[in-house]
Amino acid sequence: MNILEELNQQGKTIVMVTHDENVAKQTKRILRIEDGHIVSDSSLSSVRAVTDVGHNFPDSNYLK
């Protein structure tokens, strides 16, 4: 993760695909995709507020 963070700080865009929420929670933004559709877009502040491990992202960020 350190090298990805360094590249991002240099202005590079990093796209990571993971099923590991512990890894995902280290990022600035999480796009949650189900059945090929974006169902939520969580920023750093809302992701950090999630304390449960699982698919429990804040409902306020779900796309309608």
pLDDT tens, 18-29?
A: 999 889 888 889
- Please report, to the nearest 10 degrees, the dihedral formed by the alpha carbons of residues 13, 18, 24, 29 taken in order: 40
- Tell me the mean pLDDT per 10 residues along the chain, length 64: 92 93 88 91 63 46 48
Integer Cα distance of 35 and 33 in angstroms: 7
Residue 18 is predicted with a pLDDT of: 93
pLDDT of res. 42 = 87
Q: For the whole model, what pTM was predicted?
A: 0.58
DSSP structure class, residue 62: B
Length reported for the chain? 64
- In sequence order, the 6+-apart residues with CB closer than 8 A to the CB of 60 are 46
